[in-house]
Copies of this chain bind each other. A is one copy, B any other.
Amino acid sequence: MLKVIKIEESVFEENEKIAEEIRNILKERKILSFNIMGGPGSGKTLFIEKTVEILKDEFKFGVIEGDIEGTEDGERIKKFNIPVVQINTGGACHLDANMVKKGIFNLPLDKIDIIFVENVGNLVCPAEFDVGTEKNIVISSITEGNGKIEKYPLMFKVSDLCILNKIDLLPYIEFDFEKFEKDLKKIAPETFLIKLSSKTGKNFNEWIEYLRKLRMEKKF
């Protein structure tokens, strides 16, 4: 086991270097970038789709889709007529900075204001790999149940923003918002929380305002 850990540490170091490189490239061009993480089916693609749909006349978007196999998510984004790169990790359970760098260089950076990187659906491994974006977002949906923050603490700690999704299903399932908020405050106190439904649009404007504000401040 010790051997594996040593190898992984060197992988992390190399990854961090490439992530910094990406961050500098994007900063120079004033491109705001997000790494969207979350378990399978938490609603990452629909979240990106709805955002692009609402803001496509206001900002120029680029999207990098990360999946083990398949191009389904890439196809879903393509319909907005914006540049999309689909990365197939070929078995790897997360995106790393090197993969994202390849994605970035396949986007027309001069014509982009905001980049979304959709990571592989996984609440564990992606949290360990800085992919060079400005902000990390974790999407967790209320249908996943209440214990996710305690069980996957690193994911919530490394995220700047937590989107608690699918709140439209609240009448049909048990979910304790108070416990979720308490867990987040305890385990990841710096992480900002927005509760919304990408499907019905409920509270979605809170996220849109958050994004507009970040973009206007241009602190990145």
A residues near B, CB below 8 A? 3-4, 7, 11, 39-43, 67-70, 72, 91, 93, 120-125, 128, 141, 143-145, 147-148, 150-154, 166, 169, 172-173
Contact = CB atoms under 8 A, between A and B. Distances in A.
Contacts of A93: 93, 122, 124-125
A70 B151 contact: yes
A68 B151 contact: yes
A133 to B, nearest CB: 21
Query: What copy number does this chain have within its complex?
Result: 2
Given A40-B39, A124-B120, A154 B91 contact: yes
Nearest to A128: B91
Contacts of A166: 143
Nearest to A148: B40
Contacts of A143: 41, 141, 143, 166, 169
- In this complex, the member of A40, A43, A68, A120 whose beta carbon has the largest number of chain B beta carbons within 10 angstroms is A40
9 contacts: A40-B144, A41-B141, A43-B145, A68-B151, A70-B147, A120-B124, A122-B122, A143-B143, A143-B166
Contacts of A173: 169
Nearest to A6: B7
Nearest to A71: B150
Given A68-B151, A72-B147, A121-B152, 4 more contacts: A40-B144, A72-B151, A91-B154, A93-B93
